[in-house]
Amino acid sequence: MKILINKFGYIKIALIAVVVILVNWSIYRLEPGVAGARKRQANYAPRYIEQLINKNQRSLDSMAAEIATHSDREHIDLTALYSKHKTKDQVQDVIPELLQEDREVQAYKAYIWLSDSVQNFAAGTPPQTFSFLNEFYGKHKTLIENDKFYANQDEFLLTFVDISDDLDFSRTISNSGRPSQWRFYQTNESIYEQRQKGIFILSSNVTNSEGQKIGQLTMKLDDADNYYLIYTDRGEELHKNHQRYMWFINVFCVLVIWYLLPSWVYSDAKRRGVRKPMFWAFMALISHFFGLAIYLIARPKTTVSDGCPRCNKNLPPYSEYCPHCGFQVADQKCPGCHKSVEEDWAFCSACGTNLKRQVDE
């Protein structure tokens, strides 16, 4: 920072910092790219959701039609059946705009189970998830029925099939003595709100040849991994990113200005021979422009070079010795403007004369 101050000066650096803050704020207000991101998402997101639901509903309907022809529905392999009837087309391939985004479309998760006419579980996929939940439900069936929170096994599965790994099913009573969370679990979200997060519930009735319902096939789609690409506002996401960068740059510039203020006060106080320059710099640091204003009022009107450091009396221009007390005011003068210069300076700070060349000559 000292190198920059020596090269540009306090005022120039402060002005640069202020300009950066103003430009950064203007860019943030204009938000380049935000409107475009929102427009693109408004084009592809609804089509993505529509095709995702339609293709899985078609798969579910064709599965239900085949299940109706099976006599032993309790031992049907839904994993193999889903693989057979799953629509092969990929949604992201159908919607070219998705390929232009900076995120890859993630694969959704599908949980499918078959219930009989009275909503008792018959089969499900993925088998590991349903094996755990059904075993757990059977073990605590009496407790669950007494709680009267879940109407039946089907509702229990619908609640936990996609979040079974996130909850503690190891106990029925928590450490605080209250019922465990799973016993009275509520998302407090409507179906619409769940869809806004990429959760969809589809179903298809299994009917016999006479058109009577003999079961139900249910699918819970979890597309939450694509939340930031499809279901959230991409423009809002970019807006937040712009906001982070804006605050980072602005805070940095403010800190630079904050550093320059007491630094300038300290330098000016020393140049004017003020006693305790560090005190004035500290005042400017903690009180900002209020402390600066007090310093500007209280500081001496002249610099040390305008008065004798020993007797404080005024000196005639270009004096090398004080005419009042004989004190040597400056060891070296600029040959061009006769202002005081330091021994190790290469150029005069007042007129720019090359001091080294003068010495060589």
| Per-residue pLDDT, 359 | 45
CA–CA separation, 153 and 158 (whole Å): 9
CA–CA separation, 183 and 145 (whole Å): 10
CB 265 within 8 A of CB 295: yes
For the full predicted model, state whether its pTM sits above 0.75.
Answer: no
Q: Is residue 9's pLDDT more than 70?
A: no
Average pLDDT of the chain, as a whole number? 78
CA–CA separation, 355 and 335 (whole Å): 8
Following CA atoms 36, 37, 38, 41 in sequence, which dihedral angle do they give, to the nearest 10 degrees?
120
| Per-residue pLDDT, 93 | 53
Question: What digits encode the pLDDT tens for the residues 265-279?
Answer: 888 887 777 888 888
Nearest to 353 by CA among 341, 331, 336, 339: 336
Report residue 300 as tokens: 């001496």
The alpha helices in the chain, defined as continuous H runs, are 2-8, 10-30, 34-67, 78-85, 91-94, 127-139, 141-147, 153-160, 191-196, 234-271, 277-287, 289-298, 355-360
Instruction: Give the model's confidence band at 236: pLDDT under 50 very low, under 70 low, under 90 confident, else very high.
Output: low
Question: What digits encode the pLDDT tens for the residues 168-196?
Answer: 888 888 777 888 888 888 765 555 565 56
Instruction: Give the model's confidence band at 360: pLDDT under 50 very low, under 70 low, under 90 confident, else very high.
Output: very low
Show the CA angle centred on residue 335, arms to residues 331 and 339, nearest 5°. Answer: 60
- What average pLDDT does the segment 99-106 reach? 64
| Per-residue pLDDT, 96 | 56
Instruction: Give the model's confidence band at 287: pLDDT under 50 very low, under 70 low, under 90 confident, else very high.
Output: confident
| Per-residue pLDDT, 7 | 46
Nearest to 264 by CA among 304, 291, 241, 246: 291
- Report helix, strand or coil for 200: strand
